[in-house]
Structure 1
């Protein structure tokens, strides 16, 4: 059975940017002393793989907020937010080089497969 969608006009945060600025970054705080060790980029929107994950997080948050209001925050953080933020911010993750400066990410290299001649 397909999951019921919610109308974007019912979203608490009207954009993924507002979701990050007003909610997401407040759920994963750090201290000034530890900031140099945190793999995060203030220009997260320059990393397409991060945008994809955070956009998904925003929509999942809004869905849970409407459909499961009593448990939405706990479910969101435990099953969705913590998982994706760990992937984004891990030591060898997309933001690892951003500890020094914001380094744009690049897609993984790929060699296109060709169909063998028959």
Structure 2
């Protein structure tokens, strides 16, 4: 099996791309406002470096499409990444054009889950063996946020105590393992379509970490959504995946229409 052909890039590296192109395109007022922030030493931020690298690779890919390439790059990649970088609560939160880089953010605080809670995946060709390893060694370093002295973003060091967080972060890890293999646009797509939406939910003060904090740790104050037991006759078993027939008698008991749907017949 031959290796895919490596096409020549217009810019030799991500720094040349940022200096020669990106900062010329995205001219914003970042000096006397808190609406948009920027760090002149962006390369000191892990998240900024990885996002910029993803943007550069995506640009090199889409520039070869002379019709819609650049528009797709702007709308599906650049605008979304730059919105995260310009965000006053993002990775440049304490930096500024006047005051320069400030080393005030640190990786998300984590506690160790009980041994055996997560099963390592051996020999599967993954960069990380489990979601825990991925969160500890990649995601927590990537999403450095102020979660100690603010109510804008929350974080639970014992994220593994939350069913939703476990499901979301495991899904985020598995998606990363897939997209990292797409050299041109994979990492950018992973950020925009997977990591950013999931992290927005987890960091949301109204989300699953609502009562937790870095200072006070995990609080078990949330439980499953309340529900009552549904009547069995309300739902038909799906024996045949090509047909779903509403039970006539059950429908009438519910006061619903006397009909069959989706491929059923009287």
* TM-score, structure 1 as length reference: 0.81
1:113 maps onto 2:226 in alignment = no
Deviation at 1:14, TM superposition (A): 1.0
Count residues in correspondence.
109
Q: Distance in 2 between matches of 1:8 and 1:82?
A: 28
For 2:179, what is the secondary structure of its paired residue? Answer: helix
Superposed CA RMSD in Å reads 2.1
Tell me the equivalent position of 1:49: 164
Q: Distance in 1 between matches of 2:164 and 2:124?
A: 26
* Greater RCO, CA 8 A, separation 6+: 1
Q: Distance in 1 between matches of 2:204 and 2:180?
A: 27
Query: Which residues of structure 1 form unaligned runs of 5+?
Result: 1-6
1:103 pairs, out of 209, 214, 219, with 219
Query: Which residues of structure 2 form unaligned runs of 5+?
Result: 1-121, 235-249, 254-266
Q: Distance in 2 between matches of 1:79 and 1:56?
A: 12
Q: Which piece of structure 1 moves more, 52-61 or 90-99?
A: 90-99
Deviation at 1:73, TM superposition (A): 1.8
Deviation at 1:27, TM superposition (A): 1.8
Select the structure that is richer in helix: 1
* TM-score, structure 2 as length reference: 0.38
Tell me the equivalent position of 1:4: none
Tell me the equivalent position of 2:97: none
Deviation at 1:35, TM superposition (A): 2.0
1:35 pairs, out of 142, 148, 154, with 148
Quick check: 2:158–2:217 contact (8 Å CA) kept in 1?
Answer: no
For 1:58, what is the secondary structure of its paired residue? Answer: helix
Q: How does 1:47-86 map to 2 (within 5 A)?
A: 47-66=162-181, 68-86=182-200
Q: Give a deviation string over 1:45-104, Cα, whole Å, max 9, x none.
A: 0111110111100000001112x1232221111110000011111120011211354112
Q: Which piece of structure 1 moves more, 105-114 or 41-50?
A: 105-114
Q: Distance in 2 between matches of 1:108 and 1:43?
A: 21
Tell me the equivalent position of 2:50: none
Q: Distance in 2 between matches of 1:73 and 1:111?
A: 43
* CA radius of gyration, larger in: 2
